[in-house]
Structure 1
Amino acid sequence: MSETDLLAVDGVSAAYGKVVALREISLVVRPGEIVAILGANGAGKTTLLNAISGVLPITAGRIHFAGQRIDGRKPWQLSRLGISHVPEGREIFPAMTVEANLKIVDAFGGGPTFGVADILDMFPRLKERLTQNAGSLSGGEQQMLAIGRGLMARPRLVLFDEPSLGLSPFFTKFVLGAIADLRRKGISTLLVEQNMRAALKIADRAYVLRVGSLVRQGSARDIAAAPDIQEAYLGA
């Protein structure tokens, strides 16, 4: 792990029972950087995020964050170190109000401080829904709430899993724009996103997974310009 790396994944493998889902994956995320993880369904993208956030134990390799080895730690411990995971499906508390969903988070991550007012400034739609139960929100509003809740933990690194899934083009643009703005606050991002073209527009670098293995890495611009990537993933 270089001193300039915030996150370093080194030779990580993971499995679901006897089914190997990741094979010796290595990647880094630097402070203030957006790194995109690309690949088809089943490539291992969600598995990788789950391995980093402690949801899924790894079977080989090491993971370091801010100079500490973190593989084997529980998700709540990693949250307190400064890693927030905004999972696919959002996993908000539908029977609780928007405000309660935001306030339930422990803010010990060591990153920039976000209060409820800061989240409402970022997502004005939530200001109108503050006292509503989260389950009554639209899909786009729920995604805003999930992002806001992740930021309330004061993360230094946020793992986003398919943040635009099921959203309209308007909400997709708004949500990805909010993620891009985190860079200005010094927050790093590891982004799994179905809209790969949009992800590459806001990312600094990208890694490409295929059936659990890392097959490509480089600057987002170079990855987006590669003819084979365009043909396989970008609809060219």
Structure 2
Amino acid sequence: MTDLLRVDGIEAAYGKVTALKDVSIAIRPGEIVAILGANGAGKTTLLNAISGVLPVTAGEIRFDGAPINGRKPWQTSRLGISHVPEGREIFPDMTVEANLNIVDSNGGGPAFTVPDILEMFPRLQERISQLAGGLSGGEQQMLAIGRGLMARPRLILFDEPSLGLSPVLTKFVLSSIAGLRAKGIATLLVEQNMRAALRIADRAYVLRVGRIVRAGTAAEIANSPDIQEAYLGV
């Protein structure tokens, strides 16, 4: 199967500080790929580089076979890449419905309507006319995911979707992300709960100080003794 996203040897920096060095990953259509690593490993930087938030200084990013280096976030969104960032970044002074409707739905992936999002996250139905800033953390995360899907992505980037959520809500949110596979949407997942991420992922990459140090199937990574010791607390 042809790769939907291919990242080849990219580098990225914040000023003089190199955050990514010779990073290469690939994602196929409908695949869930987890990016694992300690805080400061470069996980968020990688997502920002792919979506155009942060320019790369070397290497190439290709989406659906075409180079996308230098594209702005709104341009990558129109190509079919949605980014649900850490912190959610919803519009707190707009209603839930307005947050969903403000999205430019030109990504070319499966079409989602507001009723589709409310069916996926029934709790948002009860809050549809409320200001988004008044939602709980879990409800805000549901809204952020729903807004990302409204862009009709073929690839969606999730940065710490369970951050600050209870175990019950974490399970629900990650289950919702896993359900996107059936719709053919590819997922690149950065998740603090590494065990949970590996349970829903097909493959995983491990980042350490800006470099990929391990790649394999989710089962291979989960069962690797050094990964278990370093990241999974075994």
TM-score, structure 2 normalization: 0.99
Q: 2:66 & 2:127 partners in 1: Cα distance?
A: 39
Q: 2:123 & 2:137 partners in 1: Cα distance?
A: 12
1:1-46 C-alpha deviation (Å, 9 max, x unpaired) = xx61000000000000000000000000000000000000000000
Aligned to 1:103: 101
Q: 1:124 & 1:227 partners in 2: Cα distance?
A: 40
Q: 1:132 & 1:173 partners in 2: Cα distance?
A: 25
1:134-166 C-alpha deviation (Å, 9 max, x unpaired) = 000000000000000000000000000000000
Aligned to 1:54: 52
The letter of the residue matching 1:100 is A
Pairwise mapping of residues 163-182 of structure 1 onto structure 2 (< 5 A)?
163-182=161-180
Q: 1:78 & 1:42 partners in 2: Cα distance?
A: 25
**Residue 67 (str. 1) matches residue 74 (str. 2):** no
Q: Secondary structure at the match of 1:109?
A: coil
Q: Secondary structure at the match of 1:50?
A: helix
Aligned to 2:37: 39
Cα offset for 1:222?
Answer: 0.5
| Structure 2 gaps, min length 5 | none
Q: Secondary structure at the match of 2:62?
A: strand
Q: Secondary structure at the match of 1:31?
A: coil
Cα offset for 1:235?
Answer: 1.1
TM-score, structure 1 normalization: 0.99
2:91 to 79, 93, 98: 93
Q: 1:234 & 1:112 partners in 2: Cα distance?
A: 35
Cα offset for 1:67?
Answer: 1.1
Q: Secondary structure at the match of 1:51?
A: helix
| Structure 1 gaps, min length 5 | none
Q: 1:68 & 1:103 partners in 2: Cα distance?
A: 29
1:22 to 14, 20, 23: 20
The letter of the residue matching 1:127 is Q
Q: 1:149 & 1:114 partners in 2: Cα distance?
A: 10
1:173-198 C-alpha deviation (Å, 9 max, x unpaired) = 00000000000000000000000000
Q: 1:154 & 1:29 partners in 2: Cα distance?
A: 18
Aligned to 1:206: 204
Aligned to 1:218: 216
Q: 2:134 & 2:196 partners in 1: Cα distance?
A: 28
Cα offset for 1:77?
Answer: 0.5
Which runs of structure 1 show a deviation greater than 2 angstroms over 4 or more consecutive aligned residues?
Answer: none
Q: 2:72 & 2:224 partners in 1: Cα distance?
A: 38
Q: 2:124 & 2:133 partners in 1: Cα distance?
A: 13
Aligned to 2:181: 183
Once the two structures are aligned, what percentage of the paired residues are identical? 79
Q: 2:22 & 2:116 partners in 1: Cα distance?
A: 39
Aligned to 2:11: 13
Q: Secondary structure at the match of 1:149?
A: helix
Q: 1:50 & 1:106 partners in 2: Cα distance?
A: 19
1:104-134 C-alpha deviation (Å, 9 max, x unpaired) = 0010000000000000000000000000000
**Residue 117 (str. 1) matches residue 81 (str. 2):** no
Aligned to 2:136: 138
Q: How many residues align?
A: 234
